[in-house]
Amino acid sequence: MNTVDLLRDRLIDKLLTIHDKELPEALDKIPVSKADTLEKVKISPAQRRMLEMSEDDIKYGRIISQEEMDSEDMKWL
């Protein structure tokens, strides 16, 4: 039996011992698969270009740390 099967069996065993209806109702609201909750985000050509520019910045090391950014923000403010 693989890990998923073991986990599923353990969860089923636990569910069978629940007498309070609130927990099963809450569990029932959890999406069955990630695909059920994922939507494709539509982006404009300008947004796509900004993302490509960000990837280039990362690729070529044009980045700063969060601490550096916080320091720059404080200077600006």
Q: Please give the structure tokens belonging to residue 65.
A: 């740390």
Dihedral sign (CA 29, 30, 31, 32): negative
Which DSSP state fits 44?
A: -
**Predicted local confidence at residue 53, as pLDDT:** 96
pLDDT of residue 12: 87
Residues in Cβ contact with 57 at an 8 Å cutoff, skipping those fewer than 6 apart: 63
Domain ranges of the chain: 3-32, 45-76
| pLDDT of amino acid 44 | 93
Q: What is the pTM for the complete model shown?
A: 0.42
pLDDT digits (tens, 9 = 90+) for 16-74: 888 888 888 888 888 776 655 567 788 999 999 999 999 999 999 999 999 999 999 99
Which pLDDT band holds residue 15 (cuts at 50, 70, 90)? confident
